[in-house]
Structure 1
């Protein structure tokens, strides 16, 4: 078993890959750590896969997988985690903006200080304000919701103990919130290390402003899923019960007022002619629907998404 697995998602990075592997090899040889590289080609349309194939015969153990199409960074990391065999798993981007020089210290923090996860913090960033300002906002919101004191949840440079990567499942665009997912799966010792950030050398960024909209929606999604996926009735059942009881209370009150008016000879409007009656009716129907939704969700919790949802076109595995 190697001491380190370095998982690298790749999407149209053919120019940077040779330089990145050379840089990693130089750092790892100096540190004396045994390691493997795990490349996941996320449906690149350039020559990235051909470059990975040529790099597989050079230096360290190289594993790689290639998707038929672009699934996104979360899918690439999820498959990379399943292939990683190291005691510590480090993730980094392939664009040379993450420095391999940080890897030995990240490894040490996990192995010697007992961290489950160590996240990089790019305090000084070489990105435009259109990326840094929204990023600060979402990091602040995530800190408030999660209680995890990290400055940069979305930093691609992270280190994990093997038990973490083998016990979490990420999908959609949830890679931004891996520390949150790890914490809610019981891995609460989460640390942070300030890391260097380099200007992009080749190509252009693969992410636009829409990622911040997606990030906010993903934060809501991951918060809901991790809190209620095992007991969805606690959420839907509670809302359904409140809605049904509210509707029932309004209906009983309307009937009481009608009977009271008839006894006292006070003119009272017909129940069905009052807007409040229709509000009560809607609340009753919605309450029943929410309760049934919670019941069906409870029955479906055993049908979780599988790790084989991604179609792999080609793979390199020296151990197979």
Structure 2
């Protein structure tokens, strides 16, 4: 009973504070089975709290019938806008596309698999006080495998390194943001991006509230452990100089170690004559060679990021929309035919 009263209180506060409207941005990938239920629950929620709203469904190159479902949904609900990208660009690219299209001052971002319950949105909005610009819906418990959770933690550590904020440990795809933050990355065009890092360019006022994340009802997650690891690597090398600093410190440490080895060899030669130490010497050379290759690999990652940026590839390209809106534009400021 106490939980219900708290929910009603949150809804009442939300209705008063966010009367200008809410934009809900949902990246969609192979989710034809969950979209109708998601939109129905969102529709019931916003009718209950009596707020203007829009649902922006960004089809990120789905290979199933997701776009057809989106088209059908928009025919029966004028509050739903569908955007179909020309190919699969990635969840964060689709988020940027949706947020750039939003017409209300506050955006809610959430997944398409019903793990983020729409009924928890009032709690997120309630947490968006005047002194905060971003509020994450942190899961009460992690519902994935230990290996997947570990990979997710690595990603959050990467974001924390890039952001330089403790709030990074609360990062979740279930978030509410002030739409004006999109101005901070209006001129960003690199295809490799992390949405939360872009948000940090416009604010350092992050918060979090704990919400229940439901179990996935349809299909399987598109984020494998390998994809999460690659995502973390992109974060480390794309938005932070920490790996370069680590390579510098490691190189200095092994240089010092080599100098100490030189002193040891010189003293041993003076005291005992020649040193029969080929295994020792081979081990030292192998260690130094490995460190050098490791440092070169880090430099290569950074050079690769620079090369990607120099190509000036678009973040996304909108192939089709379900409604005529003047602010629906792709990353090159045109909508493809």
TM-score, scaled relative to structure 1: 0.68
Q: Is 1:247–2:264 an aligned residue pair?
A: no
Aligned to 1:100: 118
Matched residues, number: 296
Gaps of 5+ in 1: none
- Correspondence list, 1:71-220, <5 A: 71-110=89-128, 112-123=129-140, 131=144, 147-148=166-167, 153-154=171-172, 156-164=173-181, 167=184, 178=196, 187-195=204-212, 197=214, 200=217, 204-207=218-221, 211-212=224-225, 214-215=227-228, 218-219=231-232
| Alpha-carbon distance change, 132 to 158 in structure 1, aligned in 2, over 3 angstroms | farther
- Correspondence list, 1:269-308, <5 A: 269=275, 274-282=278-286, 305=309, 308=314
CA drift at 1:39 = 0.9
Q: How far apart are the structure 2 equivalents of 1:164 and 1:15? A: 32
| Alpha-carbon distance change, 315 to 33 in structure 1, aligned in 2, over 3 angstroms | same
| Alpha-carbon distance change, 318 to 44 in structure 1, aligned in 2, over 3 angstroms | same
Q: Is 1:228–2:241 an aligned residue pair?
A: yes
Say whether the 8 Å CA contact 2:59–2:85 is kept in structure 1: yes
| Alpha-carbon distance change, 53 to 144 in structure 1, aligned in 2, over 3 angstroms | closer
Q: How far apart are the structure 2 equivalents of 1:17 and 1:29? A: 18
Q: Is 1:44–2:58 an aligned residue pair?
A: no
Deviation string, structure 1 residues 98-145 (Cα, Å, up to 9, x no partner): 3333334422422x35333222245489x6xxx366676677788889
| Alpha-carbon distance change, 247 to 85 in structure 1, aligned in 2, over 3 angstroms | farther
| Alpha-carbon distance change, 99 to 107 in structure 1, aligned in 2, over 3 angstroms | same
| Alpha-carbon distance change, 82 to 223 in structure 1, aligned in 2, over 3 angstroms | same
Larger CA deviation: 244-253 vs 86-95: 244-253
Indicate the SS of the match to 2:176: strand
CA drift at 1:163 = 4.8
Larger CA deviation: 66-75 vs 161-170: 161-170
Q: How far apart are the structure 2 equivalents of 1:160 and 1:46? A: 30
CA drift at 1:91 = 1.4
CA drift at 1:35 = 2.5
| Alpha-carbon distance change, 312 to 254 in structure 1, aligned in 2, over 3 angstroms | farther
Q: How far apart are the structure 2 equivalents of 1:303 and 1:87? A: 35
TM-score, scaled relative to structure 2: 0.65
Aligned to 1:8: 26
Say whether the 8 Å CA contact 1:9–1:40 is kept in structure 2: yes
Larger CA deviation: 26-35 vs 159-168: 159-168
Q: How far apart are the structure 2 equivalents of 1:282 and 1:244? A: 14
Aligned to 1:20: 38
Gaps of 5+ in 2: 1-18, 161-165, 327-337
TM-align CA RMSD: 4.4
Say whether the 8 Å CA contact 2:86–2:317 is kept in structure 1: yes
Structure (1 or 2) with the larger CA radius of gyration: 1
Say whether the 8 Å CA contact 1:173–1:218 is kept in structure 2: no
